[in-house]
Amino acid sequence: MTKVESAAGLGDARGLVKLDQVELDLQGMTCASCAARIEKKLNKLPGANATVNFATEKASVTFDPAVVSTEEMLAAVTAIGYGAELVKDEPDEEPAAGGGHSRDHAAELLQRLVLSAALAVPVLLLSMIPQLEFRNWQWLAFTLATPVVFWGGLPFHKAAWASAKHLSFSMDTLISMGSLAAYGWSIYALFFTKAGDQGFRMNFSFTGATSHMHPDIYLETASVVVAVILFGRYLEAKGKRRSGSAISDLASGGSVTVAVLDMDGRETLRVSRELKVGDRFLVRAGEKVGTDGVVESGEANVDFSLLTGESLPRRVAEGDEIVGGAVNIDGRLVVRATRVGSETAMAQLAKIVADAQAKKADVQHLVDKISSVFVPVVILLSIGTAVVRLFAGDSMQAAFTAAVAVLIIACPCAMGLATPMALLVGTGRAAQLGILIRGPEVLESARQIDTVILDKTGTVTTGRMSVVGAISMGDTTEAELAAMAAAAEAGSRHPLARALLVHADELDVDVPEAEAVVAVAGQGVSATVNGVSVVVGKLSFCEENGLVAPEDPARYREASHGPVSLVYVGWGGAVRGIFEIADQIRPDSRAAIGALKRLGTEVILLTGDSREAAEAVGRELAVNQVIADVSPEGKGQVVDELLGKGKRVAMVGDGINDAAALAKATLGISVGGGTDVAKEASDLTVFGGGVAGVVDAIRIARRTLGTIRGNLFWAFAYNAAAIPLAALGLVNPVLAGAAMAFSSVFVVGNSVRLFSFQRARID
């Protein structure tokens, strides 16, 4: 259960209301109308705000525990004929891929489908082929059709009855009414008219003409419609199960048995979900890492593809962080657990993606409103069709056939599945590639982007900086310069700081302790070292802190070569030296920037580094514009200026100094490991691939949005065309059932195609 703080917003004295958030696993939903009913019922509870996702069969509820309880929520769902269970944050057992409920439902549908098809096909053949008929064969058809209608169609009848008890309707209402109407009319004809003594043949034409089919018997319609719709439901269930498998894989990716080491180095086998923070465990070659941690000893190549989507392994050694679910390819590692259970990177990723899948796109709210009234409208249309055709002079048989066809062909399922299925598959596939999409609104933002701003360090470059040159002034030695700089930067995680620390280590100098450390984002660090005030950072930052700059700073810039950053170090009132720090450009950055341009965007390089270093990188990467010497606040101002010009801006960054710009941009994208602040401020997170990963993130977001639009077009176009055709008698009930099943399967299948999305080829 998640805790959420929210302003009361009611003008009372409660201030912040402590809200809880839970997820309910729902059973018994068969269409979007069911989802709308459950959502409406939950939202009627005081203090509850619910969103029901038909595709995932879950409800996400934010509520005030002082006003309503989870037991009341479960009771409310049960009261209207559906099942509900509370989803636990940390289940005792790992779920099967795709979810056990989904698997059992698909297995039950398959069982009903096989038997129903085996019985319905002979009825269909007997009705279509006169040569197969024999005396009183209609009674064999009746015997075969009866279990199909009542046992095969039992899920539809039960759901329809549950809805009827609460004076509501669902898709099952239409199926149940249509099949029972056809069966009931046939029973009347067989037992109470001369039809029972006559042969009958089904008309399978699109025109609904009745050349030689007996007008009173519809056993083939009743049985075949049930079998066809069961087939559609089975394919739909399989598609939905596969669609949820990506997140199930993420959630259970780290579930393994690990060898935990005690103080004496003895091994004890333990399930990874039982690990505690601080536990030391062994990871041998070929084994999965049990949970997030830090490598205490050993070196190995590790496959992080479950998190980043990248196939190339990464070398890890002592002091490196590692995530649960990663695979040790070679070597032997001893890892100390730092995050366990629901706090691990995989668990957090799975939760964020699941939350995104539970959200609704703006268009989905319109679809929900239509679905909530769709079924009763269709029932009225069916009755109206029969009445109008009778008044127009049609036979009872023609009017009845058209009315049943209208009942069966109408399908709000396709409308209800159009958005959530595409979102489910798109976000799941993105997660497999190491791309985190936070919600459906991100998809629309990605479509609109015309300008991409790239941070330099760690985005277009590797972020692994190193000192390539040092200039000492006066009688200051390079060792003394390195020691003072490393002391001031010892507590920083900035790539420049790490480069200075590594350089001091390479020179084998003693680094003293620093006190009164003050870091100014994008500028530098000041600290007291051995009683002396030391300043490390930009030249302007040193001057602001009272240090006298070199007489000719331009001379030192000219001494620099290539895309390097200059870090000034000073104390005692003067700048004492300069470090040249270089960062290697990612091999695929230039090609990836070309791919961004082909997506219709202008690319801007934005950095706090010096103009000389930034422009050198910009020339090498062929960006459209370079903006350098920018503070963190300045980055946000650059975004504001572009937005003010009507641009749709994507900001790409990985550090705290990018957070403001990420939050302000039309689309915020954090890359690499990034910082927690950067991730929280972003709409998309790319865990691997640098700029190439950004290209893939925009592509899959746009592709998912395109799939949603295609699904919605099909769903609305289908109903707009199918219902009039059925009302006009141009489609008989059997074909209506096939068309209805196909519409849902089409939407599911079209969504599942997103699993074929592949990374862009960056050459």
Known catalytic residue at 696: no
Question: 746: closest CA among 704, 712, 696?
Answer: 712
Q: Which residues of 93-126 are buried (b: 16+ CB within 10 A; e: fewer)?
A: eebebbbebbbebbeebeebbebbbebbebbbeb
Element of type H or E holding 111: helix 100-128
Report the C-alpha gap between 671 and 665 in whole angstroms. 15
Q: Is the distance from CB of 398 to CB of 389 less than 8 angstroms?
A: yes
Tell me how far apart the alpha carbons of residues 629 and 638 are, in angstroms, rounded to a whole number: 12
CA distance 291 to 618: 40
Containing 297, the helix (H) or strand (E) segment is: strand 292-297
Dmax over Cα atoms in the chain, in whole Å?
119
Question: Contact 371/32 with Cβ under 8 angstroms?
Answer: yes
Look up residue 448 and give its two tokens.
């609109």
CB 257 within 8 A of CB 271: yes
Look at residues 114, 143, 111 and name the one whose alpha carbon lies nearest to residue 126: 143
Among candidate residues 544, 499, 492, the one with its CA nearest the CA of residue 514: 492
Distance of CA 608 to CAs 115, 457, 521, 583, 652, Å?
Answer: 69, 9, 10, 14, 14
Q: Where are the alpha helices (DSSP H) in 490-610?
A: 495-506, 539-544, 553-559, 589-598
In contact, 209 and 732? CB cutoff 8 Å: no
The C-alpha atoms of residue 67 and residue 72 are separated, in whole angstroms, by: 10
Q: Which of 279, 455, 654, 683 is catalytic?
A: 455
Q: Rg of the chain's alpha carbons, rounded to an integer?
A: 33
Read off the DSSP letter of residue 149. Answer: I
685 φ/ψ angles, rounded to the nearest 5 degrees: -125, 130
Active-site residue list: 455
